[in-house]
Structure 1
C-alpha cells in the first residue's frame, strides 16, 4: 500500500511553482520529519526529536494548532511567478505549462496539508515491530488539530471554497481571481508596512495588527479631513492624486487621519508604508519595489521636520518633484508635521542678505527660498489647528455620545476644562484622553 508518508515525501519534493513555501520554517520542519521516517530505519528517540521540533514550531507560528489552515495560508500568500502574473491581470499570457504546474502543486499542497499526527504516529508504530515501550513513546506524543478552521476574515471566502472542493485543482480560477483582487505575496497578506533598517539590511515588515481607527471614529475637523479623503479616493480609483502634507498643532488627529484611510480603503487595494525620517534616502528604492504592483501605496512620513544642516530632505524633494526614474502613478506621499516650513530656518540665514562678511553666501535669498519651498512641493496642504473652546467641547460631547456615556453635560464640560488645564492643553487628543478617563470611572460607578 502506498503510504501517506511516502506520498507526502514525494509531494514535498515535487512542488515547483510554489516551492517557496518549503522555506517556511514549519513546512521545512515537516519536510525533515517526513524524510526521516520514510527511510524505514526509525530510531524512536530521534523520531521523537524531529516530531517535537515540528510540533513546537507549528504551535509557535500558529496558535490555532490547525495544520491545514497554516499550509493553506502559506500557499495563498506565497509570492511566485504565477501569483505575480495573476495579480497584474495578465493571466492570458501565462504559459499553459505553468498553469499545469500550478494544478500539480495545488494537488501536492492539498495532500501535504491533510497529513495528520495520527497518520505519522500510525506509520511509525507499524515500523517499530513489537516493542511496546517504543510504541508507547510514540502514542503519547501530542496531536495537532486537522479539522478546525479558524475564522480569518482575510481568507474566509477563498478558504471555504478550497475546503469544499474534493480537489484543490478545481479552485484554480478562484485562486486567480483572489490574486487579481488582493495582489500577491506580502501585499496580499498585509495592508500596512514599516520600512525597517537593521544590521542585515533593510526592507518591508508587515504590520500584523494595524491601528483599527476608522474615519467614523474621528470627531471634528470634518472639513480638513474631507480634502484628504477626496484625494485618496481619486488615488485608489486610479486617477491622478496629489502628495499631501497635513500640518498643524500636536494632538489634532493628523496621523490618525492617515491611519484611518488604510482601514477605509484597503479592500480597494490601498496599502500604507510608514517610512521613518532617517530612511528618506531609501525612498527611490521603495518606489522601485512597488511601482509594478497592482495596489496603490501611500508612503507615510510622520512628524516630518529637518534641521537646517540635514541633507535627507533632498531625497524627499527629488521624489516630490517626480523625476523620470522614480515617478510612479501608484505611489503618493502623505506626511504630517507640526511645522508649516519643514526645514528649520535661522535668523543667521537672513543676516546673509545684507552681510559684509566675505564668507557669507552671495545668494543667501536662494537658500532661504529653497528651504521654504519643500512644503510647497506637496500638491495639497491641510492645516489642523488647535480647537477653540466651543469646538473642543463639541468634540467632547460627540465622543461621549459615541461611547454611550450618560453623563450630566454641565459636569462633563466643567471637568473637561479642568482636564485640559491640568494635562496636555486643548486638542482632540486631550478630549480622547479625558473621555477615556470618564468612561473608566463610569464603568466603576465612581463618577460624582
Structure 2
C-alpha cells in the first residue's frame, strides 16, 4: 500500500459531513488513529503496533472481523440529518443538496471499507526495514476483506445489507436508504424491535433486546375471540386510525403476555415496536414518551403483571398517560398492560372504614379516593378478560399444541396424562397445557430413541 493510499483513506474519513458522527465510533476512531500514525514522520514501531491492535481489538469486540460489514452496519443505523429527517417529512427539492453530501460520504466510506490489512502491513514494512521489525509486522492479525454471511438479522436489515454488497458504488443505495429510514427509522429503533427501560445510576435508557420471545400467533391455541380484540386494535393503531390502550386481565397462565409478544412478532415488519417498562419505573412514563414521540415507528408500551400498592407516584404517572394529557397524547404510542386482577390498585379495609370513621387522621372524602383507585382499569379503552379454561377447553388447548408439534401420541393417553399434570402442578391453564406438552414431547423423544 502506497503512502498516498494511506493518506487518501485518512482524507476520506476527514471529508465525512452527514455521517460525521461515525468518527466518534470506537472502531472507526481507532482506525483513524492508526492512519494518522502511519502518516507521521519519525513514528516508532511500538506506537504503530499499538494503534493497529487498538483498532483490531475494537473491531473484534463488534462481533465481526469484516471491516466492510461493520461500516455497512454503521451506515444502516446511523442517526444523522439525512436518516432522522426522512421519517418526519417529505424532502423538498432544495433538500436534494443534502443527498449530494450523502452520496459523497457513501463513496468515502466505501473506500475506507476496502482497506486491506496486507496493504497496511506493507506500508509499515516500508517504514521499518530491519529484520526484527519484519517479524513483528508479519505477525500482526488480519481482518476479513469481504462481507460474511449472517442469518440472525431481521429481514429488512438483511435486505439493506445485501443491497450494499450487490452494488458497485455505494451511492447507488441512496434510494434504498431513503425507503429504509422512512419505513423503519434509524438508530436503535431500526436495529431492534423490542426494548426494555432500564436504569443505571439513576439515569433511564432504552436497552434493545437482541432475542425477544419468539412466540407467534399461530402457536397460541384457543382464546381466539379474546385475542382478536387486541389484534383488531393493533391493526387500527398501525393504520394511523384512532385506537385504544388495552388491559388484558384474568387468571394466571391464560396467555395474556404471550398474546402481546406474539402481536409484536406478527407486525414488526409494519413498523411496530415494543417497550417493556418494569412496574418500578412507571414514574418515568413522561421521559419515555419524550424518547418515542417523534419517531416514525408505532410503539406499544408494555406493562406486564400490573398492580399498584401504595406507590402513589407510579400510579399517578400511569393515570396521567391513560387520560391523555397534552404531552402524553401521542399518535404513535399505545399502552398494553396485563394483570391478574380487575382492580389494579390494592384497596384496604381501612379505606372503607374511613367512610364512616370519626378518626381525625382519616381522609374526609375517603369514598372519592377509593373510587378513583377502583376506576383505574376503566381508563383503558379496551379491557379483555382471559379466564381459566374448563376441562374441555384445557384438553382442546393441549391437543392443539401437540398437533402443532406433530406429536403422534395416543389421544386417550394424552388427555389422561394432561389432566393428571394439571392436578399435580398449576391447575388448568394455557401455560400448564404448554408445560405439559413440553414434558410429554421429551418423554416421546426418549421413548422413540430406546
Matched, 1:52 2:53: yes
Corresponding residue for residue 263 of structure 2 = 261
What are the equivalent positions in structure 2 for 1:146-157 lying under 5 Å apart? 146-151=145-150, 152=153, 153-157=155-159
Task: Measure the CA separation in 1 of the matches of 2:445 and 2:24.
Answer: 49
Give the one of 222, 225, 232 matched to 1:223. Answer: 225
What are the equivalent positions in structure 2 for 1:7-18 lying under 5 Å apart? 7-18=8-19
1:248-287 Cα distance to aligned partner (Å, 9 max, x none)? 1111111111111111111111111111112111111211
CA RMSD of aligned residues (A): 1.8
Matched, 1:137 2:136: yes
Task: Measure the CA separation in 1 of the matches of 2:26 and 2:235.
Answer: 39
Tell me the TM-score normalized by structure 1.
0.95
Matched residue SS, 1:342: coil
Give the drift of 1:200: 5.9
Corresponding residue for residue 112 of structure 1 = 112
Could you tell me whether the CA contact under 8 Å between 1:191 and 1:272 is conserved in 2? yes
Could you tell me whether the CA contact under 8 Å between 1:252 and 1:429 is conserved in 2? yes
Task: Measure the CA separation in 1 of the matches of 2:12 and 2:79.
Answer: 19
Task: Measure the CA separation in 1 of the matches of 2:122 and 2:94.
Answer: 42
Matched residue SS, 1:155: helix
1:58-80 Cα distance to aligned partner (Å, 9 max, x none)? 12212x42110111101110011
Task: Measure the CA separation in 2 of the matches of 1:236 and 1:4.
Answer: 49
What are the equivalent positions in structure 2 for 1:31-180 lying under 5 Å apart? 31-62=32-63, 64-92=64-92, 95-129=95-129, 131-151=130-150, 152=153, 153-180=155-182
Corresponding residue for residue 252 of structure 2 = 250
Could you tell me whether the CA contact under 8 Å between 1:44 and 1:138 is conserved in 2? no
Give the drift of 1:399: 0.7
Aligned residues: 446
Matched, 1:28 2:9: no
Matched residue SS, 1:311: helix
Matched residue SS, 1:211: coil
Task: Measure the CA separation in 2 of the matches of 1:120 and 1:225.
Answer: 59
**CA separation of 1:104 and 1:416: change in aligned 2, threshold 3 A:** same
Moved more, 263-272 or 350-359: 350-359
Could you tell me whether the CA contact under 8 Å between 2:302 and 2:337 is conserved in 1? yes
Task: Measure the CA separation in 2 of the matches of 1:276 and 1:61.
Answer: 29
Which structure 1 segments of 5+ residues have no match? none
Task: Measure the CA separation in 2 of the matches of 1:243 and 1:44.
Answer: 63
Corresponding residue for residue 307 of structure 2 = 305
Task: Measure the CA separation in 1 of the matches of 2:145 and 2:388.
Answer: 55
Corresponding residue for residue 272 of structure 2 = 270
Could you tell me whether the CA contact under 8 Å between 1:42 and 1:128 is conserved in 2? no
1:338-389 Cα distance to aligned partner (Å, 9 max, x none)? 1100000011211122223333222221111101111100000011111111
Give the drift of 1:318: 0.6
What are the equivalent positions in structure 2 for 1:407-446 lying under 5 Å apart? 407-445=409-447
Could you tell me whether the CA contact under 8 Å between 2:147 and 2:165 is conserved in 1? no
Give the drift of 1:405: 0.9
1:110-158 Cα distance to aligned partner (Å, 9 max, x none)? 11111121221122112223x1231121112221111133234342322
What are the equivalent positions in structure 2 for 1:248-397 lying under 5 Å apart? 248-308=250-310, 310-397=312-399
